Amino acid sequence: MDQAALFRRDVVIRLEAGLHLRPISMIAKLAREFAADIRISKADRSADAKNVFDMLTLQAACGADLTIDATGSDAREAVDAIGDLFDSNFPEPEEFDSDGQPDQKPRRSPK
């Protein structure tokens, strides 16, 4: 096995507010679960996916094209996991409505 094999996936930012701190924190938390070196690049800028400060400097707005690159033993899994996070558009934890009441739970659909 070639340890230096590079895995790559192109993604697009679909968050209206761009790649802001919350999605960046989610990426960093996920990236730290992998041993691989993971980088996220936008045009000529590249950032360490485990480093929040680095990723904040990408300044990626809605619609920006990014590339995820990883090398290392679990690089393929890392690129898949982070790519899926982009594809799912960084789901929010369950929200509370403006009255501080939990949102109505959707009815359980029949199996």
Partner 1 sequence: MKLSDFVVPGAIVPDLKVGSKEQAIRAMVGSLKDAGTFSADDEESIVAAILKREELGSTGIGKGVAVPHTKHPSVDKLVATVAIAPEGVDFASLDGEDVFILFLLVSPPERPGDHLRGLENISRHLRNQNFCNFLKQSKSADDVMELLREADNNQLG
Report CA torsion sign: 8, 10, 15, 20: positive
User: Residue from 8, 30, 37, 52 that binds partner 1 (CB under 8 A)?
Assistant: 52
Nearer of residues 7 and 85 to partner 1, judged by Cβ:
85
Distance in Å, CB of 54 to partner 1, minimum: 7
CA atoms within 13 A on the CB side of 80: 4
Distance in Å, CB of 33 to partner 1, minimum: 13
Distance separating alpha carbons of residues 71 and 12, to the nearest angstrom: 21
Distance separating alpha carbons of residues 53 and 51, to the nearest angstrom: 6
Q: What 8-state DSSP symbol labels residue 3? A: T
Residue 20 is among the residues annotated as catalytic for this protein: yes
User: Residue from 54, 74, 77, 80 that binds partner 1 (CB under 8 A)?
Assistant: 54
Instruction: From the candidates 8, 20, 45, 76, give the one annotated as an active-site residue.
Output: 20
**Is position 18 an interface residue for partner 1 (rule: CB under 8 A)?**
yes
User: Residue from 56, 67, 72, 74 that binds partner 1 (CB under 8 A)?
Assistant: 56
**Is position 89 an interface residue for partner 1 (rule: CB under 8 A)?**
no
Distance separating alpha carbons of residues 26 and 24, to the nearest angstrom: 5
